[in-house]
């Protein structure tokens, strides 16, 4: 029989229940519920059934609470600023200026061509999706000639 998870007594059972019941953020509420149920001595499989979280995640939440106390719980995605942009402000300005004219091959700009331009600037491969992301970030629409322009020629 597996060993039951134990919860460090950072807070009383009553305090755990209060934090669970009053939590506004749904992720934090689930985390408090997990810790509260485990602190009551409930087996992991019961906590899994009650919360819908996997046994692995229940153990991870318990470990974070045991190690960090109340500060270890909650949705940590809110504090994650994300990665650094691929292009600096100066490079984004240069891209904006390049997008005002034709692409290097003389045709319209698209995500692939923007990605190739970016790759020359930063010295590594860039996916077409990143090219599209920067077209969107710089508020540039698809560079397709209008139907009238192609019919008139």
67: which 2 tokens?
A: 């190690």
The predicted-structure confidence for 63-83, as pLDDT tens digits, reads as follows 999 999 999 999 888 888 888
Distance CA 4, CA 86 (A): 46
Residue spans per domain, the chain = 13-79, 89-143
pLDDT given at position 90: 97
Res 152 pLDDT > 60: no
- Does pTM top 0.75 for this prediction? no
The predicted-structure confidence for 92-104, as pLDDT tens digits, reads as follows 999 999 999 999 9
Contact yes or no for 38/7 (Cβ under 8 A): yes
pLDDT given at position 83: 87
pLDDT given at position 146: 53
pLDDT given at position 140: 83
- Range in 77-86, 105-114, 116-125, 144-153 with the lowest mean pLDDT: 144-153
3-state secondary structure of 43: coil
Res 148 pLDDT > 90: no
Res 153 pLDDT > 60: no
Q: Which fold has domain 13-79?
A: Arc Repressor Mutant, subunit A (1.10.10)
Closest CA to 107 of 97, 99, 119: 99
Give alpha helix (H) positions in the chain.
13-22, 26-39, 44-51, 55-68, 89-99, 111-122, 128-137, 147-152
């Amino acid at each position: 029989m597996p060993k039951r998870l134990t919860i460090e007594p950072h807070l009383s059972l009553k305090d755990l229940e209060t934090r669970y019941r009053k939590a506004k953020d749904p992720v934090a509420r689930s985390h408090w519920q997990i810790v509260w149920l485990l602190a009551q001595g409930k087996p992991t499989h019961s906590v899994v059934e009650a919360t819908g979280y996997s046994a692995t995640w229940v153990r991870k939440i318990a470990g974070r609470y045991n190690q960090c106390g109340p500060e270890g719980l909650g949705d940590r995605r809110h504090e994650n600023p994300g990665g650094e942009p691929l292009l600096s402000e100066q490079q984004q300005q240069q891209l904006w200026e390049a997008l005002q004219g034709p692409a290097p091959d003389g045709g319209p700009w698209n995500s692939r061509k923007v990605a190739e331009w970016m790759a020359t600037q930063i010295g590594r491969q860039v996916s077409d999706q990143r090219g599209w992301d920067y077209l969107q970030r710089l508020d540039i629409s698809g560079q397709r000639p209008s139907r009238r322009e192609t019919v008139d020629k």
